[in-house]
């Protein structure tokens, strides 16, 4: 099971163990420490609920374009509402830092093998900026 999970995620078994160990520390007792506040914890909880709602149909929300877009819009609105931001995303040039953060996190993610080549092209472009 561990070997299968590691292969699916594109990690060695030791990397998979390290990844799972790191994930195990992300629980309710440590959320405030990792997220910086109870507000961060609430944002994550609400986004998780949006994913769960979209997954009620039995389809994996991330594999259904409509459901995935609904989760993305919900996540944006949740963050915008709680942080008192406009709902619209900032101008493209103001998104670079956030996109670089997302790219770095996704590059180490268990789903990195599922990412399209167009995503990696974007990452390479971001690294050049």
The pLDDT tens digits of the residues spanning 32-78 come to 666 667 788 889 889 999 999 998 888 899 999 999 999 999 999 99
**Number of domains present in the structure of the chain:** 1
Please check the confidence at residue 105 and state whether its pLDDT lies above 90.
Answer: no
Provide the pLDDT confidence category of residue 28 given band limits of 50, 70 and 90: low
Does residue 128 sit in helix, strand or coil?
helix
Q: Does the residue 30 lie in any domain?
A: no
* Residue range(s) defining the domain that contains residue 113: 91-129
Residue 70 pLDDT:
95
Please check the confidence at residue 17 and state whether its pLDDT lies above 90.
Answer: no
**DSSP assignment of 30-74:** THHHHHSSHHHHHHHHHHHHHHHHHTTTSS-GGGSHHHHHHHHHH
Q: What is the dihedral of CA 28, 56, 73, 31, to 10 degrees?
A: 0
Q: Does the residue 102 lie in any domain?
A: yes
66/53 Cα distance (integer angstroms): 13
Residue 2 pLDDT:
78
Q: Does the residue 111 lie in any domain?
A: yes
Q: Does the residue 80 lie in any domain?
A: no
């Amino acid at each position: 099971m561990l070997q299968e999970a590691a292969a699916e995620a594109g990690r060695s078994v030791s990397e998979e163990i390290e990844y799972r160990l790191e994930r195990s520390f992300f629980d309710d007792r440590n959320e405030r420490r990792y997220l910086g506040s109870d507000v961060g914890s609430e944002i994550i909880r609400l986004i998780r609920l949006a994913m769960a709602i979209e997954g009620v149909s039995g389809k994996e929300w991330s594999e259904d374009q409509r459901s995935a877009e609904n989760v993305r819009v919900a996540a944006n609105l949740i963050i915008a509402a709680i942080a008192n931001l406009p709902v619209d995303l900032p101008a493209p040039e103001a998104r670079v830092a956030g996109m670089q953060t997302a790219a770095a996190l996704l590059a180490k993610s268990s789903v990195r093998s599922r990412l399209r080549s167009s995503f990696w092209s974007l990452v390479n472009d971001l690294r050049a900026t």
